[in-house]
Structure 1
Amino acid sequence: MTEKDPRYRRAASAVKRCVAGEVFLVPVAAGVADVMSLYVLNPTAEVIWDLLDEPRSLNEICEHIQQVTGEAGGHVREDCSNFLTQMERMGLVERA
């Protein structure tokens, strides 16, 4: 594994919850949910979150998203990369 292709996983500091048909990530600190900082996931973001139950590379994630959605490569990679970067900055995803 090279630095160009790091592996990502869910941070232990967040849990996924489904409420009234919406999917949320809820940050948790010291066993307490931070309900003031909920993050809504769209269906593709939910698929990525579910994939991160074990460490995955950006390439693995993109290949799966392309298979599931039938979308072509270029924008899928950019969108996945942007999502992972944002989630990493918020402390919801970490490098494995």
Structure 2
Amino acid sequence: MISPDGGTVMFRRLPDILAQRDVSLLAYKSISQALADPQFCGTFENDVAMIVSRNGQLYSLNLQAALMWDELRNPASLDDLVECVMSVFTDGVDGVRADLSRCLDGMERLGLLERI
């Protein structure tokens, strides 16, 4: 994504958002670390890997969205997030880019993250 001034759009999660990973992910520093561990065998009830909360509203994230959320602990561009997800999942890059773009737009509309 390109900003109106021609620079790369970066995203960051807002500091007042609470997040809780599925119990199978708690032993790991990050979701990408868990997914890189051949011993990891997380199975998520109803496909929910993480719950995030803002102002009492709860939002469930699947594993791909949770991985993206985890990576947004530091500002990241769409390209950064696509690269991270592609290192773990084997979906086509165009599909991943479109999925992440929709997810970022949705999270921004919900007030969970912002463009910087």
Q: TM-score, normalised by structure 1?
A: 0.82
Among residues 13, 17, 31, which one is paired with 1:14 in the alignment?
17
The yes-or-no answer on 1:26 pairing with 2:29 is no
Aligned to 1:77: 97
Q: Percent identity?
A: 31
Deviation of the 1:53 alpha carbon: 0.3
Report the Cα distance in structure 1 between the residues aligned to 2:102 and 2:86, rounded to whole angstroms. Answer: 16
Q: CA RMSD in A?
A: 2.0
Deviation of the 1:70 alpha carbon: 1.9
Report the Cα distance in structure 1 between the residues aligned to 2:13 and 2:93, rounded to whole angstroms. Answer: 24
Aligned residues: 89
Report the Cα distance in structure 2 between the residues aligned to 1:50 and 1:12, rounded to whole angstroms. Answer: 13
Structure with the greater alpha carbon radius of gyration: 2
Aligned to 2:35: none
Deviation of the 1:91 alpha carbon: 0.6
Unaligned runs of at least 5 residues, structure 1: 29-33
Deviation of the 1:92 alpha carbon: 0.1
Instruction: Summarize the Cα distance change of 1:58–1:19 in structure 2 as closer, same or farther, 3 Å threshold.
Output: closer
Unaligned runs of at least 5 residues, structure 2: 24-43
Report the Cα distance in structure 1 between the residues aligned to 2:16 and 2:65, rounded to whole angstroms. Answer: 17
